[in-house]
Structure 1
């Protein structure tokens, strides 16, 4: 019976977060059409997007800590319903930059409980040896939303109006928010996972009792947060601006732009599953290594691939490029972006004591959402004054530094561990 309940809970979480992502990105899916029909320039669009992501950053951070004190099921349901309402209100606004910005900030605030609540519920419903893989599968919900969302939006915009492409996810989010409240439970009836967590944690120092102020001083944790922020800049910079670059700069159709986004999300599904499975496989083979170090090593290799695909987007795509070539690059970008993102949350939690899992996830998520906000207005200014190509070159340099740090950090940790365990000669 519990196995059936676990599947129902997981499916409900999957659908809830899928719709949460769909509503959060609905403006991005319709961005080229909104810019044209509402006469908004890059800076105004960047203001709307950055306002939402900054609000999301603050809300997600606060809700991550709050999950220790309130029902995550209730918080997730209420947030999904409220974000659907905000989406409908945005679609109902007419020609007002102020209202667009206000309603999309409201959407960001309402999105805050979604992922922290799902993380807390998942932690209690799945054993440690299942947690990484289950987390990666749940992460694919954002890719499914990102794959289907642009295609649905393009179809609606082509045959109707961009406002209806926002009304649809808003209504669906409100409906499923009520359903999710009755299908999800905060924890199973026989929840006794604490002992298992303590045995599986690979970082002995992380079991010490520490204050929240000392969290960033834990070995490797600050590096996880910063690199999570970097990959989030690249993620949202590519999601938000690559379609605009393809359509407005290179002259491709909106179908091509949205097809690129869908290919990126399909690649993200593959990358998430590969990262989750492969990191768990390495953990089973490298039992003496801390879990978080093994996952960072996997992230470093994904980042190396990301450099190559960003280079191809920058230098190998022109106004004459075929749809298949553009989609191939989009697939590769999605696989190498979402692979790391799918396991960063687990990595952050594994760096910290078990009793601070929610807080450690909240701090890492704060860095990620700040990175997402930087992909809005700052990158739009950069593209306006220096051009799209230099903006993508900046992303490449950031990822190169990220990959270099991760390789050096995991290597140094491995050497230190081998030196500490090597028997001393007389």
Structure 2
């Protein structure tokens, strides 16, 4: 049984009949790039359906179950610990597995957890199974990172990657609408049941939609197809572990991005996970708070896409300048969110600052641990590199759970927003350390074009 599962997860073998006709190659690439992008996009939307529903249900969750903010923070942080560690381990595994089954297995498992989550009777059980959900959720991004690298070439990757990354915020927005409806009708648990059913169906569909690398269906590499080669290539004599050691664990630029990602993710989840609680404590109704929160991920989608487009259009694919601009603007957006979120403030103004925070946090969130990480390593270790930065990112998410609860109890919401502002400055410092590396990356890429 175990051997069958291992074989099921192994990379698909190269096709025995490579395609040589240029027109057929172009036609097949157009078809499969759309299928791969669409499948990975919709699949990851469903990952967020089975992850972020708890953020919208938080006020109802806390009230009905009688738990404290600190207990809720521990529950959320437990998931972020298992997700962060799992993302790193999944990153190393995904490089040696196939995209299709790896992504589908994680989504199906997470769907099953959601289906019975609302029936669990105690906080310890809820925390335990939400932690398991975090481990299953960690199987979503690494195969996508691998897919984006193998199906989209370096010069187009920032745009395509951040366009795909809008799946984070589309999923968060859509489940927000569903959860808001469930809360308004007094059935917050239905947000978990609905997510579980839909994700289970889509998880099975992934098995019939995705494939693995282009070579598994007889296509040449995307670099050869588009005449667009990465400057960094793995030494041919290195084993998989030696590749990880050289290009991931001992990569100073990846460490800089990983540390920056801690603070980016702290801001992201301190605002996203706690905004409904913040709004309710400022006098806004629970169902209205759930609907207003949709502004943050929905407009955040546009911020993530804009960040990728700006990087490709104005900075030749370099992400550092874009990240610094977005983080600087994020400081002022956080200030506005804190000062203008009140029961007597017009709803559109509250929504505006929620949207601005989402817009400017999603740019760095999409670029730092994904596109930028892929630019400072080699193709064979992209999943591991993204898993590595992701693990650090979810250290920041872990801190946003317990840390935000601690800040609220000791310094109120003022302390939370000051911590977010300081996090912006620290993230800017570490991101800036990759400035010269990205310039050299772009110059080498131009030299290798034929």
Number of residue pairs matched?
Answer: 407
**Structure 2 Cα separation of the partners of residues 357 and 171 of structure 1:** 32
1:353 to 1:207, Cα distance in 2 relative to 1, 3 A: farther
In the TM superposition, 1:262-411 aligns within 5 A as: 262-284=294-316, 294-344=318-368, 345-407=370-432, 410=435
**Structure 2 Cα separation of the partners of residues 407 and 67 of structure 1:** 29
CA contact (8 A) 1:33 1:162 kept: yes
**Structure 2 Cα separation of the partners of residues 55 and 199 of structure 1:** 37
1:218 to 1:84, Cα distance in 2 relative to 1, 3 A: same
Q: Which residue of 2 aligns with 1:239?
A: 272
Q: Which residue of 1 aligns with 2:259?
A: 226
1:178 to 1:314, Cα distance in 2 relative to 1, 3 A: same
Q: Secondary structure at the match of 1:4?
A: helix
2:133 is equivalent to residue 101 of structure 1: no
Stretch of structure 1 that moved more, 27-36 or 397-406: 397-406
**Structure 2 Cα separation of the partners of residues 204 and 12 of structure 1:** 28
**Structure 1 Cα separation of the partners of residues 274 and 146 of structure 2:** 32
Q: Secondary structure at the match of 2:50?
A: helix
1:45 to 1:187, Cα distance in 2 relative to 1, 3 A: same
| 1:161 to partner: Cα distance | 1.1
**Structure 2 Cα separation of the partners of residues 146 and 135 of structure 1:** 18
| 1:207 to partner: Cα distance | 11
CA contact (8 A) 1:32 1:254 kept: yes
**Structure 2 Cα separation of the partners of residues 164 and 309 of structure 1:** 33
1:371 to 1:280, Cα distance in 2 relative to 1, 3 A: same
Task: Normalising by structure 2, report the TM-score.
Answer: 0.84
**Structure 2 Cα separation of the partners of residues 279 and 332 of structure 1:** 19
Q: Which residue of 2 aligns with 1:69?
A: 96
**Structure 2 Cα separation of the partners of residues 50 and 216 of structure 1:** 25
**Structure 2 Cα separation of the partners of residues 33 and 191 of structure 1:** 53
Deviation track 1:295-339 (CA, whole Å, cap 9, x = no partner) reads 011101000010011111223333321211110001101110101
CA contact (8 A) 1:263 1:328 kept: yes
CA contact (8 A) 1:206 1:218 kept: no
CA contact (8 A) 2:284 2:342 kept: no
Q: Which residue of 1 aligns with 2:54?
A: 27
| 1:383 to partner: Cα distance | 1.2
Q: Which residue of 1 aligns with 2:221?
A: 192
Q: Which residue of 2 aligns with 1:212?
A: 244
**Structure 2 Cα separation of the partners of residues 117 and 368 of structure 1:** 18
**Structure 2 Cα separation of the partners of residues 414 and 6 of structure 1:** 28
Mark the runs of 5 or more structure 2 residues left unpaired by the alignment: 1-26, 444-450
**Structure 1 Cα separation of the partners of residues 59 and 274 of structure 2:** 10
| 1:139 to partner: Cα distance | 0.6
| 1:213 to partner: Cα distance | 3.7
CA contact (8 A) 2:46 2:171 kept: yes
**Structure 2 Cα separation of the partners of residues 245 and 54 of structure 1:** 24
**Structure 2 Cα separation of the partners of residues 228 and 205 of structure 1:** 25
| 1:201 to partner: Cα distance | 3.3
CA contact (8 A) 2:256 2:433 kept: no
Deviation track 1:181-220 (CA, whole Å, cap 9, x = no partner) reads 1111012321424668996435699999665344354352
Q: Which residue of 1 aligns with 2:139?
A: 113
**Structure 2 Cα separation of the partners of residues 409 and 112 of structure 1:** 26
RMSD over aligned Cα atoms = 2.5
| 1:97 to partner: Cα distance | 0.4
Which residue of the other structure, out of 194, 197, 201, is the alignment partner of 1:175? 201
Q: Secondary structure at the match of 1:162?
A: coil
**Structure 1 Cα separation of the partners of residues 166 and 235 of structure 2:** 29
1:198 to 1:385, Cα distance in 2 relative to 1, 3 A: farther
Deviation track 1:82-133 (CA, whole Å, cap 9, x = no partner) reads 0011111211213x10111111111111111101111112222222233221
| 1:406 to partner: Cα distance | 3.7
In the TM superposition, 1:38-187 aligns within 5 A as: 38-94=65-121, 96-187=122-213
Deviation track 1:167-190 (CA, whole Å, cap 9, x = no partner) reads 000111111111111111012321
Mark the runs of 5 or more structure 1 residues left unpaired by the alignment: 285-290, 419-426
